[in-house]
Structure 1
Amino acid sequence: MRRRFPKLFAALSSAFILSNLSVGTAHAIELVPTVEDAILHNPEFREQVKAHQGVQADLRGAEGGWLPKIDLGAGIGQEKITTKTADTDLTRKEAAVTVSQNLFEGFATQSEITRQQARLDSAGYSAQAKANEIALSMVEAYVNLLKEQELLRLAQQSHETHQRILDQIIQRNQAGVGNSVEVDQAKARLSLASSNLIAERNNYRDTLARFERVLGRMPDSDLVKPTFSYKFPEKLEDAVNTALIEHPAMRSANADIATVRYQYDVAESAFYPRVDVDVKQTWDENINGIEGKSENFQAMLRVSYNLFNGGKDDANLDKVAASVHQAAEVRNTTRRQIIENMHYAWNAEKYIRDQLEFMQKHKDLTLATLQGYRKQFSLGRRSLLDLLNTEDEYISAQRALVSSQHDHLIAEYRILNGMGLLLNALNIKVDYALAENDYKEE
Structure 2
Amino acid sequence: MKVVRSITLIGVLILIGSPAIAGDLAATVRKAIEHNPDVLITQDDKRAIEQDVREAKAGYLPRVDVSAGVGGEKSDNTSTMAATGKNGYLGLHREESGIKVTQMLFDGFFTKHGVARQKGHLKAASYRVLAAGEDIGLKAAKAYLGVLQRQEQVNLAKENLAAHQRIHDQIRMRSERGVGRTADTTQAAGRLALAQANLEAQEGNLRDAQVAYVRIVGEMPVDLVLPVAPADKLAADLDALIGEARETHPVLLSAVADISATQAQHEQARANDFPRFDVELGASHNDNLDGVRGANEDLYAMLRMNYSVYRGGADLARKRSTAHRISEAKNVRARAEDQVIEEASLSWNDFITAQSRVDLLRSHADAARTTREAYVKQFNIGQRTLLDLLDTENELFSAELNYVDGKYRLLFANYRIVASKGQLLSALAVTPPEEAAAP
3-state SS of 1:435 partner? coil
How far, CA to CA, are the matches of 1:60 and 1:371 in structure 2?
74
Number of the residue aligned with 1:312: 314
3-state SS of 2:328 partner? helix
Number of the residue aligned with 2:191: 189
Number of the residue aligned with 1:213: 215
What is the CA distance between 1:287 and its match in structure 2? 1.9
* Structure 2 residue 144 is the aligned partner of structure 1 residue 150: no
How far, CA to CA, are the matches of 2:305 and 2:24 in structure 1?
66
What is the CA distance between 1:359 and its match in structure 2? 1.6
- Give runs of aligned pairs for residues 418-433 of structure 1, distance below 5 A: 418-433=420-435
8 Å Cα contact 1:162/1:189 also seen in 2: yes
Q: Report the CA distance shift for 1:24/1:275 in structure 2 as closer, same or farther (over 3 A).
A: closer
8 Å Cα contact 1:230/1:425 also seen in 2: no
Moved more, 293-302 or 172-181: 172-181
How far, CA to CA, are the matches of 2:183 and 2:291 in structure 1?
122
What is the CA distance between 1:184 and its match in structure 2? 2.0
How far, CA to CA, are the matches of 1:35 and 1:418 in structure 2?
16
Number of the residue aligned with 1:132: 134
Equivalenced residue count is 416
Number of the residue aligned with 2:96: 94
Q: For residue 78 of structure 1, what is the amino acid of its counterpart?
A: G
Number of the residue aligned with 2:8: none
Moved more, 82-91 or 141-150: 82-91
Q: For residue 317 of structure 1, what is the amino acid of its counterpart?
A: K
Q: Report the CA distance shift for 1:213/1:367 in structure 2 as closer, same or farther (over 3 A).
A: same
Q: 1:272 aligns with which of 271, 274, 286?
A: 274
How far, CA to CA, are the matches of 2:248 and 2:323 in structure 1?
27
Q: 1:248 aligns with which of 223, 247, 250?
A: 250
3-state SS of 1:381 partner? coil
Q: 2:31 aligns with which of 29, 37, 41?
A: 37
1:136-173 CA distance string (max 9 Å, x none): 11100000010001111111111111111011011122
Q: For residue 291 of structure 1, what is the amino acid of its counterpart?
A: R
How far, CA to CA, are the matches of 2:395 and 2:422 in structure 1?
40
Q: Report the CA distance shift for 1:226/1:313 in structure 2 as closer, same or farther (over 3 A).
A: same
3-state SS of 2:435 partner? coil
Q: 1:329 aligns with which of 328, 331, 350?
A: 331
What is the CA distance between 1:417 and its match in structure 2? 0.8
Number of the residue aligned with 2:291: 289
Q: For residue 327 of structure 1, what is the amino acid of its counterpart?
A: A
Number of the residue aligned with 2:240: 238
Q: Report the CA distance shift for 1:24/1:161 in structure 2 as closer, same or farther (over 3 A).
A: farther
Q: Report the CA distance shift for 1:130/1:413 in structure 2 as closer, same or farther (over 3 A).
A: same
CA RMSD between the two structures: 1.9
8 Å Cα contact 1:56/1:120 also seen in 2: yes
Number of the residue aligned with 1:7: none
How far, CA to CA, are the matches of 1:28 and 1:115 in structure 2?
45
Q: Name stretches of at least 5 consecutive residues in structure 1 with no aligned partner.
A: 1-16
8 Å Cα contact 1:78/1:90 also seen in 2: yes
Moved more, 395-404 or 80-89: 80-89
Number of the residue aligned with 2:64: 70
8 Å Cα contact 2:161/2:192 also seen in 1: yes
Q: Report the CA distance shift for 1:415/1:34 in structure 2 as closer, same or farther (over 3 A).
A: same
1:338-382 CA distance string (max 9 Å, x none): 111111111111111111112222222221221111111111111
What is the CA distance between 1:208 and its match in structure 2? 1.1
How far, CA to CA, are the matches of 1:154 and 1:240 in structure 2?
39
Number of the residue aligned with 2:228: 227
8 Å Cα contact 1:122/1:255 also seen in 2: yes
- Give runs of aligned pairs for residues 194-205 of structure 1, distance below 5 A: 194-205=196-207
Moved more, 54-63 or 202-211: 202-211
8 Å Cα contact 2:129/2:433 also seen in 1: no
3-state SS of 2:270 partner? helix
Q: Name stretches of at least 5 consecutive residues in structure 2 with no aligned partner.
A: 1-11
8 Å Cα contact 2:19/2:219 also seen in 1: no
What is the CA distance between 1:284 and its match in structure 2? 2.1
TM-score by length of 2: 0.91
How far, CA to CA, are the matches of 2:230 and 2:302 in structure 1?
70
Number of the residue aligned with 2:5: none
How far, CA to CA, are the matches of 2:118 and 2:356 in structure 1?
49
Number of the residue aligned with 1:9: none
Number of the residue aligned with 2:6: none
Number of the residue aligned with 1:380: 382
What is the CA distance between 1:233 and its match in structure 2? 1.6
* Structure 2 residue 344 is the aligned partner of structure 1 residue 342: yes
Q: For residue 40 of structure 1, what is the amino acid of its counterpart?
A: E
How far, CA to CA, are the matches of 2:436 and 2:171 in structure 1?
68
1:282-336 CA distance string (max 9 Å, x none): 1222222222223211111111111111111111111111111111111111111
Q: For residue 224 of structure 2, what is the amino acid of its counterpart?
A: L
Number of the residue aligned with 2:74: 80
How far, CA to CA, are the matches of 1:434 and 1:182 in structure 2?
66
3-state SS of 1:96 partner? strand
What is the CA distance between 1:410 and its match in structure 2? 0.8
Moved more, 80-89 or 350-359: 80-89
8 Å Cα contact 2:52/2:118 also seen in 1: yes
3-state SS of 1:293 partner? strand
How far, CA to CA, are the matches of 2:274 and 2:201 in structure 1?
73
How far, CA to CA, are the matches of 1:172 and 1:347 in structure 2?
53
How far, CA to CA, are the matches of 2:251 and 2:102 in structure 1?
42
Number of the residue aligned with 1:108: 110
8 Å Cα contact 1:120/1:435 also seen in 2: no
Q: 1:399 aligns with which of 398, 401, 406?
A: 401
1:48-83 CA distance string (max 9 Å, x none): 111111101111000100000011112222222224
What is the CA distance between 1:24 and its match in structure 2? 8.1
